């Protein structure tokens, strides 16, 4: 009876963990969108080129990637409680710190260390890895719900930050957002003190058939990649897709205003993209990952992102930009939560925190590179078209790598990827 009661409590508690993870992710994405919205204002106030605030975005991503791997290691050994609490405190204090900067190195340190390494480092990789340990089934939905906190943040924060930045200035906006983050995130992080139940043992693999002829023998004799090689190749795929992803994610608002559209419409474009990503994560991701698996779902979402990048290089009307934003949101919404699902499907469960953190370190490094070179290319060419096309080339490399992984891990592609369901 006591065992049944503990199982029932764990079943209910996991949904509380899911909600807390969602809220932490939503708040954690705030400073990212705050920097995107205020990028031009910060550069103008200090007389900086746009490369400088773009590099702050990059510092945040590199810091969060490194922090994600460290916090993931901590998660594997001690649970999510302390990483979540440390991250919540440092994140709020980092946002307050930005409101007092008077030189670029302070902006880099606040975003790279406090907000990135210690703050967001405790969010994306550890939270998604942790939720994979709470859910043995419907992992795509669980990862999608957690990461959809970023999408809802993208719907809510850009217009909110635009309003307050234009009303009271970017410094006051950073300060009061940091205070709000501390008041919300610290209590929510306490939910993470409870550790998940032990993972269910993996089912025994059937022995390969002795000897026969035909395609079945070739499939049985095929050797998938070793876990470490698989992680290296998956990390390369994550780097390429996130270089591409960062260019519109960071510069879409600035690009739209450069084309002559108002700041209100430009902020709406980002909100439309992130609303579409929210739909992808909540309505499509679980169906796709259970039907075709994490790798094939990643391929589909990456292809949608490629369409968006090529479109952004050539369209300038507001209607066309809204359409392209929908394609970008479709791809963006599915790509990031696919990686923890893929890690859970193909790599050892006991190392999920560190391995997810390692893969997402390459993803955030790619985001850092893409965000920085987007600003650099604008400073050189005075437009973003070239940056979008270079991003599309990186996205093509991602598609090629993912196709190779599907073939190695699932058999002849694409029939094996799209013809079998996954748990």
Longest CA–CA span in the chain (Å) reads 75
pLDDT at 123: 87
Mean pLDDT in residue range 21-33: 90
Look-up of token digits 């670029």: 104
Mean pLDDT in residue range 390-405: 96
- How many domains are there within the chain? 1
End-to-end CA distance of the chain: 29
Within a domain: residue 216? no
Within a domain: residue 151? yes
Within a domain: residue 219? no
What is the percentage of the chain residues whose pLDDT exceeds 90? Answer: 44
Q: What is the rounded average pLDDT for all residues in the chain?
A: 85
The pLDDT tens digits of the residues spanning 246-300 come to: 999 888 988 999 999 998 898 789 888 878 888 888 888 889 998 999 999 999 9
What is the Cα gyration radius of the chain?
A: 21
Distance, in Å, from the CA atom of 298 to the CA atom of 332, rounded to the nearest integer, reads: 10
The pLDDT tens digits of the residues spanning 308-336 come to: 999 999 999 999 999 999 999 999 888 98
Distance, in Å, from the CA atom of 22 to the CA atom of 28, rounded to the nearest integer, reads: 10
What is the percentage of the chain residues whose pLDDT exceeds 70? Answer: 87
Within a domain: residue 211? no
Q: In terms of residue numbers, what domain contains 47?
A: 2-194+224-419
CA angle 282/149/261 to nearest 5° reads 95
Asked if the model's pLDDT at residue 136 lies above 60, the reply is yes
Q: Report in angstroms the alpha-carbon separations of 291 from 297, 418, 422.
A: 9, 8, 6
Which of 401, 215, 420, 251 is closest to 328 using CA atoms?
251
Within a domain: residue 372? yes
Within a domain: residue 213? no
pLDDT at 78: 86
pLDDT at 186: 95
Look-up of token digits 């080339």: 393
Q: pLDDT category, 112, cuts 50, 70, 90?
A: very high
Two structure tokens written together for 312:
């952004």
Judge whether 333 and 285 are in contact, CB under 8 Å. Answer: yes
Mean pLDDT in residue range 222-242: 88
What DSSP assignment string belongs to 64-99?
Answer: HHHHHHHHHHHHHHH-SHHHHHHHHHHHHHHHHHHT
Which of 173, 67, 184 is closest to 127 using CA atoms?
67
Distance, in Å, from the CA atom of 395 to the CA atom of 401, rounded to the nearest integer, reads: 10
CATH number, domain at 66? 1.20.1250.20
Q: pLDDT category, 413, cuts 50, 70, 90?
A: very low
φ/ψ of 196, rounded to 5, equals -70, 160
Within a domain: residue 204? no
Helix (H) or strand (E) holding 243: helix 227-258
The pLDDT tens digits of the residues spanning 166-203 come to: 999 999 999 999 999 999 999 999 999 887 766 555 54
pLDDT at 185: 95
pLDDT at 319: 94
Q: pLDDT category, 214, cuts 50, 70, 90?
A: very low
Distance, in Å, from the CA atom of 369 to the CA atom of 364, rounded to the nearest integer, reads: 9
Within a domain: residue 215? no
SS3 at position 146? helix
pLDDT at 411: 53
Mean pLDDT in residue range 94-107: 94
């Amino acid at each position: 009876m006591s065992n049944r009661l503990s199982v029932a409590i764990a079943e209910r508690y996991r949904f509380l963990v899911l909600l807390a993870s969602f809220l932490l992710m939503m708040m954690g994405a705030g400073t990212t969108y705050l920097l995107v919205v205020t990028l031009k204002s910060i550069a103008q106030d200090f007389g900086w080129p746009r490369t400088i605030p773009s590099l702050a975005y990059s510092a945040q991503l590199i810091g969060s990637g490194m922090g994600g791997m460290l916090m993931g290691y901590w998660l594997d050994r001690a649970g999510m409680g302390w990483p979540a609490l440390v991250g919540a405190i440092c994140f709020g204090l980092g946002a307050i710190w930005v409101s007092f900067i008077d030189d670029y190195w302070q902006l880099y340190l606040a975003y790279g260390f406090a907000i990135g390494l210690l703050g967001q480092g405790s969010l994306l990789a550890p939270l998604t890895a942790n939720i994979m340990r709470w859910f043995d089934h419907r992992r795509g939905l669980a990862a999608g719900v957690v990461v959809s906190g970023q999408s809802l943040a993208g719907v809510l924060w850009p217009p909110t930050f635009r309003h307050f930045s234009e009303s009271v200035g970017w410094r006051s906006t950073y300060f009061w957002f940091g205070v709000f983050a501390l008041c919300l995130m610290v209590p929510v992080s306490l939910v993470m003190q409870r550790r998940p139940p032990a993972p269910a043992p993996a089912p025994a693999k059937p022995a390969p058939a002795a000897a026969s002829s035909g395609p079945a023998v070739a499939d049985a004799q095929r050797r998938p990649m070793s876990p470490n090689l698989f992680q290296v190749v998956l990390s390369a795929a994550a780097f390429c897709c996130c270089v591409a992803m960062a260019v519109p994610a960071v510069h879409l608002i600035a690009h739209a205003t450069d084309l002559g559209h108002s700041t209100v419409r430009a902020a709406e474009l980002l909100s439309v993209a992130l609303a579409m990503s929210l739909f992808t994560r909540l309505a499509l991701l679980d169906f796709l990952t259970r039907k075709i698996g994490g790798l094939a779902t990643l391929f589909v979402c990456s292809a949608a992102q490629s369409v968006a990048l090529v479109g952004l290089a050539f369209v300038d009307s507001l209607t066309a930009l809204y359409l392209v934003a929908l394609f970008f949101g479709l791809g963006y919404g599915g790509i990031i939560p696919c990686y923890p699902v893929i890690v859970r499907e193909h790599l050892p469960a006991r190392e999920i925190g560190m391995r997810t953190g390692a893969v997402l370190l390459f993803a955030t490094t790619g985001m850092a590179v893409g965000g920085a070179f987007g600003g650099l290319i604008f400073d050189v060419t005075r437009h973003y078209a070239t940056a979008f096309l270079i991003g599309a080339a990186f996205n093509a490399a991602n598609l090629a790598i993912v196709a190779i992984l599907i073939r190695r891990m699932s058999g002849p592609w694409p029939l094996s990827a799209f013809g079998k369901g996954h748990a």
